[in-house]
Amino acid sequence: MASGDLGAGESPADSGSETRPSGYRCGDVLLPVWPDGQEVKIYCDGVVALTRFADTAHYHQRLVDKVLAMESSDSHARRYFRGAGGIKVYDLPAWGIPEAELLHARALEMFRRALKTPKAQVDVCWANIFRDGDFIMPHSHTRSSESIVYFLSNGAEDRDNPLNGRFSVVDPRLEECCKDQEGRMTTPWVPPQTPGVMIMFPAAILHFVNPHRGEQPRISVAWNISEDKLPGAPIPDGAGPVV
């Protein structure tokens, strides 16, 4: 991944005939997929990209309401064991609201801009609903080249534990995580997690989410993306969960 300002300027040219909407109407406001001046910052030896959207007041509440309404959906939701992140609600484009389409388009645009490519194919995408006590063990993602996570709601702040429900990278291949000795993972990298933050990282990088405690759910959204469509199903029957 290149360093520097990756957000501003034109989207990588589309080599095909695909027409991408430049914005989505959410309520009475037309929100751009990529706001003017939206910047992407680079971390962790140049392999993690982070941006923060400032217009979340126009689309977060409807997304939260929709995710929670689908929490019991037989067709889109799936409950995993506590250490796999609790409940997942799959397939944003099928949720039927423009706010989900906007967020999905922003993830795809993040991928194109960070990798400077016109091509982007989502393998699988889902929202995570963490209820009290849910967490995600250290893992990496399969199949896709990149993963993206977006923070929709952190639940209530826990003043006794600033790392409550925090996403962290714990990969011994990253200098950021091995500040005491090369190859020895001693320092989790904990990025900003303000709602509206979107982070892209190589799918192979080890990451986890600390246990979430609190009555209000923590909600994040995730994508696995590659330049080209991958063969086969992203979640084959009988396989372990994608987290």
| Contact assessment for residue 1 and residue 42, using Cβ atoms and an 8 Å cutoff | yes
Q: Among 110, 60, 106, which residue's Cα sits nearest to residue 220?
A: 60
Which CB, 31 or 124, lies closer to Fe ion? Answer: 124
DSSP tag of 117: -
Which CB, 144 or 164, lies closer to Fe ion? Answer: 144
Q: Report how many residues bind Fe ion under the rule CB under 5 A.
A: 1
Q: Least CB distance from residue 242 to Fe ion, whole Å?
A: 8
Which CB, 11 or 43, lies closer to Fe ion? Answer: 43
| Contact assessment for residue 191 and residue 197, using Cβ atoms and an 8 Å cutoff | yes
Question: Residue 168 in 3-state DSSP?
Answer: strand
Contacts of Fe ion in 214-243 (CB under 5 A): 243
Q: Least CB distance from residue 125 to Fe ion, whole Å?
A: 12
Q: Least CB distance from residue 207 to Fe ion, whole Å?
A: 6
Which CB, 31 or 87, lies closer to Fe ion? Answer: 87
Question: Residue 95 in 3-state DSSP?
Answer: helix
Q: Least CB distance from residue 139 to Fe ion, whole Å?
A: 6
Q: Least CB distance from residue 205 to Fe ion, whole Å?
A: 9
Q: Least CB distance from residue 222 to Fe ion, whole Å?
A: 6
C-alpha–C-alpha distance, residues 223 and 234, integer Å: 11
Which CB, 8 or 137, lies closer to Fe ion? Answer: 137
Residue of minimal CB distance from Fe ion? 243
Extended beta strands in the chain, E state: 23-26, 29-32, 41-43, 48-52, 77-79, 87-90, 121-130, 136-139, 146-153, 167-169, 197-202, 207-209, 218-226
C-alpha–C-alpha distance, residues 104 and 100, integer Å: 6
Q: Among 141, 145, 136, which residue's Cα sits nearest to residue 167?
A: 136
Which CB, 109 or 146, lies closer to Fe ion? Answer: 146
C-alpha–C-alpha distance, residues 112 and 49, integer Å: 12
Q: Which residue has the tokens 């989790």?
A: 188
Interacting residue ranges for Fe ion, rule: CB under 5 A: 243
